[in-house]
Structure 1
Amino acid sequence: MKMNNLIRKLTIVAIVATLGISLVACGGTTQNKSSETKKVASTLDKDELVIGLDDTFVPMGFKDESGKLVGFDVELAEAVAKKLNKKIKFQAIDWSMKETELNNGNIDLIWNGYSISDERKEKVEFSKPYLNNTQVIVTLADSNIKSKSDLAGKKVGAQNESTAVDAVAADGNIMKSFDGGKIVTFADNNDALMDLEAKRLDAIVVDEILARYYMKARGTEKYKILDENFGKEQYGVGIRKGDTKFVEAFNKALDEVIADKTAGEISKKWFEEDILVK
């Protein structure tokens, strides 16, 4: 009898243990499914969109003398958000961490003169392009630098984690010819331009849109843009990877603000002409 009782108890323990393992496994599957659902949920379902930007990037998104956030991208974002029937919140971010901020869910969009590149396409979804841009070489007006070859032995700067750095790195071995064999990087373009003015740099590589706006504000006679450049590119808006539902809705809203001339008027305000990609 004792042996039979022992066998019965062991059988019950085995059944309970088996059930426990099954429940844990089911719970894990449910949790994974819940996590997976959260991961693929579309930004389109949100009432408020958090837009990440470098708030020193003139004229796309920057703080004016009163501390108010202004710029072409800021106004275009407000117009598109209105079409989407969404509220928006702008959030200054470390530009070198932009894709991480997006994919971790801390922001919903990267919208601030964000250049489309193959490398970035692996990390984010892009909207349709809305502006053309060129990575130009800027020097002081009295500089003897006239071409890319003249950059040999010179200190050249650019914003960290920008397509300016990527474009220079992709242009043969030119970076190896720079002073120190590398490009000097900065947290933002404003710091790079200030170092150029102070003659701590000989040249910078920067978005043409920013360069021309900055030069106009500071005095075009102080600078020159070389005829040679590091390539053309286009701006787009970064959207979380896999969220094709929102990409489609976003592009439709962007097309609408271009078609009804709202975007064109914003462009004329900031660039004195409509330069949007149609």
Structure 2
Amino acid sequence: MRRIAASVLLGAVALLSATACGAGSSILDKDVLVIGVKPDQPGLGMKKAEGQFAGFDVDVAGYIARKLGKNARFVAVPSSEREKALMNGSIDLVVATYSITPERKTKVAFGGPYYVAHQDTLVRAGESAVANVRDLKGRKLCQVTGSNSWRRVKEERKIAVELVEAASYSECMSDLKAGKVDAVSTDDLILAGFATSDMKIVNAPFTDERYGVGIKAGDLDGCEAVNKAITEMYLDGTAKKLLQEWFGKSGLALTFTVPQFEGCG
């Protein structure tokens, strides 16, 4: 009997502990949302000299927070740290050119997508031999730690590129200018922010990149609230306004309709 009583007691303690851990775990239970954004991607997420962040992703994140009735605190998050930060709870949401992939969905959940970008390639302005991604064969391609873009080229399309590691896309751009790499291939919105007179986008897109709002796995209510906010952002014209504000002069073919959501289940 003592063993049975002890087992019942341990079971009750475990149940109470699980309930306590689950309490307040949704973003809907918080007054302030800590949102991870990029600090070094022009047009998407840039940290200004005074410490504030600006860009399309930042504006989208701010809109979602307001629709949820929350204040937002933005923090910089590198590509390699996005899953870890969501899983350990140091960040509540990630809005940082975070493409939804099956592998990532095994670790975190996604609201959205809030936009569907397309992977393209950036080369130096004088480069005439690269007209599409297949022309990168034998060339040096920048590989950002934590990003999947290089995999689309080398692993999915089996193009024999030489990978050159970099910590961020801003570092990739410096390497491209310096001649350390021949090309940078990633989402067209990222490339549009970095494109200058001495660089050019090939304009030969070859993937759909579904930008999701990263959220801790299991927060179904929070995810559905995020999706509702994204829908409202498109229906009230805010999404179109923000896209035109940040990328209207880029020459990209922008999409202003609500993307098809992945589902929160």
Q: Give the aligned partner of residue 140 of structure 1.
A: 124
Per-residue deviation at 1:84? Answer: 0.9
Alpha-carbon spacing, 1:156–1:109, altered in 2? closer, same or farther (3 Å): same
Per-residue deviation at 1:78? Answer: 1.5
Contact 1:145 1:151 in 2 (8 A): no
Per-residue deviation at 1:29? Answer: 4.8
Indicate whether 1:193 and 2:173 are aligned: yes
Q: Give the aligned partner of residue 164 of structure 2.
A: 184
SS of structure 2 residue aligned to 1:115:
coil
1:146-165, aligned counterparts within 5 Å? Answer: 146=130, 147-165=132-150
Which is richer in helix? 1
SS of structure 2 residue aligned to 1:127:
strand
In 2, Cα distance between equivalents of 1:269 and 1:225: 20
Per-residue deviation at 1:194? Answer: 0.6
SS of structure 1 residue aligned to 2:94:
strand
Per-residue deviation at 1:209? Answer: 0.5
Q: What's the % identity of the aligned pairs?
A: 33
Indicate whether 1:238 and 2:222 are aligned: no
Within the candidate set 21, 42, 53, 1:38 is matched to 21
Indicate whether 1:208 and 2:184 are aligned: no
Letter in 2 for 1:129: P
Contact 1:130 1:277 in 2 (8 A): no
How many residue pairs end up in the alignment?
252
SS of structure 2 residue aligned to 1:263:
helix
Q: Which runs of 5+ in 2 are unaligned?
A: 259-265
Per-residue deviation at 1:245? Answer: 0.9
Per-residue deviation at 1:125? Answer: 1.5
Per-residue deviation at 1:33? Answer: 4.3
Which deviates the most, 21-30 or 80-89? Answer: 21-30
Letter in 2 for 1:38: C
Residue deviations 1:23-49 (CA, integer Å, cap 9, x gap) = 487246524642465247322111111
Within the candidate set 233, 238, 243, 1:262 is matched to 238
Query: Scaled by the length of structure 1, what TM-score is found?
Result: 0.81
1:105-124, aligned counterparts within 5 Å? Answer: 105-124=89-108
Which deviates the most, 144-153 or 113-122? Answer: 144-153
Within the candidate set 22, 40, 65, 1:81 is matched to 65
In 1, Cα distance between equivalents of 2:205 and 2:63: 33
In 1, Cα distance between equivalents of 2:75 and 2:134: 40
Q: Give the aligned partner of residue 262 of structure 2.
A: none
Letter in 1 for 2:234: I
In 1, Cα distance between equivalents of 2:211 and 2:256: 10
Q: Which runs of 5+ in 1 are unaligned?
A: 1-14
Contact 1:53 1:61 in 2 (8 A): yes
In 1, Cα distance between equivalents of 2:157 and 2:234: 38
In 1, Cα distance between equivalents of 2:12 and 2:21: 14
